[in-house]
Amino acid sequence: MQVPAPFEYERAISVDDALALLDRLGPEARVIAGGHSLLPMMKLRLAAPEHLVDINDLRDLDYIRTNGSEMRIGAMTRHRTLLESDALEVQFPIFRDAEQVIADPPVRNRGTIGGALCQADPSEDLSAVCAACHAKLVIRGLDGERVVDMDEFHKGPYETSVGPAEMLTEIRLEMRPRPGSAYEKVERRAGDWAVAAVGAAVWMDEDRIADCGIGLSALGSNVLRAHRAEEELRGKPATDETIEIAGRAAYEECEPVTDQRGSAEYKRHLAYELTKRAVRRALERVPRG
C-alpha cells in the first residue's frame, strides 16, 4: 500500500493566508494544488514535506481572462479548463495540443497549471508550453509580487525560483500580432509522460518570423528552451530551409539522457523531428495578415 509519510495538513482560505502559513511553517511546508504530481512523489518518499498547505479553496486563482494585451491564467486553473478554453485556443492553440495529451480526463479534472509548473518535472508538458509562449510568471510573497520569465522561474528538475514563503499566482501571456503555436509529443502510451516533446510559438511580420519560442520537454534537465533553434528562426522567412536549420539546432543543443523511455540518440532525433513539425504546424495556424 502506497501512502505518504506523515505530515500536518493546513487549508488556506486566501492567498495571504497561504503565504502566512508558509512563512510560519518554514521550508518543510509545501503548497498542494491538484496533488497529482506531488502526492505520487510523496507516496514514493521522493518528497516528504512536514506540512501541506492546501490551496484548493482559492477559487479566485481559477480563471483565464484577458487584460489589455495579455491573457492571464490563474495558478489554480485546472487542466480541463485549459483544454476547453476557446479564448485560449484562439490565441495559443499550443495549450489545447498539450492538454489533449496530458494524463487523462479524471487527472485533468484535478491537476492545475500552477502545480505542474511548480513541480517542474523534467518530462512535464506545460513548462515547455509556457517557455515557448514566453510566459511571465507572477510570484507572490508577503512583501509583494515579482514577475519572472520561464528561464528565471525554471531552475532545473523539481526546482523553481519560488521561495519557501512564496507562491505562484498567475501566468501571463502577451498577445502579439499574427501568432501561431503548436505542441508535438511522443509518448509510449496514451497519457504518459513525454519520451520527448517540443512546443513552438511564432509571431509573424509579413512572411518573416518576427519572434518565436521553442520549448522542450524531457530533452535535458537544464534545457527548457532551444535558444539556438529560436535564433535560427527569428527574423527569417518561414521556409522549409529555415525550419530544417532550426530542427538541426535543436538536435545539437538538447541534452537528453538514456532512460526507460528511450535512448539519448532517439530523443535527440525526436528533438530534431518534433521541432520541425511543431514549427510547421505553428506556421500553418498563423492568421493571414
Partner 1 sequence: MQVKMTVNGEEVTRDVEPRMLLVHFLRDELDMTGTHWGCDTSNCGTCVVQMDGEPVKSCTVLAAMASGHEILTVEGLEQDGTLDPVQQGFMEEHGLQCGFCTPGMMLTAKALLRENPNPTEAEIREAISGQICRCTGYMNIVKAVRWAADHQPSPLAQEVRS
State which H helix or E strand residue 241 sits in. helix 240-253
Stretch that binds partner 1, among 37-45, 137-145, 249-257, 274-282 (CB under 8 A): 37-45
- Beta carbon nearer to partner 1, 21 or 173: 21
- Which residues on adjacent β-strands are paired with residue 4? none
Stretch that binds partner 1, among 3-11, 205-213, 220-228, 281-289 (CB under 8 A): 3-11
Three cell numbers written together for 273: 523531428
Site for partner 1 in 90-119 (CB under 8 A): 103-107, 109-110
Which one of residues 5, 13, 46, 90 is an interface residue with partner 1 (CB under 8 A)? 5
DSSP H helical ranges for 102-239: 105-110, 113-119, 126-132, 150-153, 227-233
Give the interface segment with partner 1, choosing from 2-10, 155-163, 198-206, 229-237 (CB under 8 A): 2-10
# of chain residues touching partner 1 (CB under 8 A): 28
Q: Look up residue 25 and give its three cell numbers.
A: 511553517
Annotate 153-180 with b (16+ C-beta within 10 A) or e (fewer): bbeeebebebeebbbbbbbbbeeeeebb
Q: State which of residues 15, 20, 43, 178 lies at the interface with partner 1 (CB under 8 A).
A: 43
* Least gap, CB of 110 to partner 1 (angstroms): 6
Residue 2 makes contact with partner 1 by CB under 8 A: yes
CA distance 263 to 266: 5
**How close are the terminal C-alpha atoms of the chain, in Å?**
58
Residue 28 binds partner 1, judged by CB under 8 A: no
Q: Which helix (H) or strand (E) holds 48?
A: none
6 interacts with partner 1 by CB under 8 A: yes
Smallest distance from partner 1 to CB 47, Å? 12
**C-alpha cell belonging to residue 258:** 538514456
C-alpha radius of gyration, the chain, whole number: 19
The C-alpha cell 509579413 sits at 206
Identify the residue among 52, 53, 135, 201 touching partner 1 (CB under 8 A).
Answer: 52
- Which of 36, 79, 134, 267 lies at the binding interface for partner 1 (CB under 8 A)? 36
Tell me whether residue 7 or residue 63 sits nearer to partner 1 (CB atom): 7
In the complex with partner 1, the residue whose CB is nearer, 158 or 266, is: 158
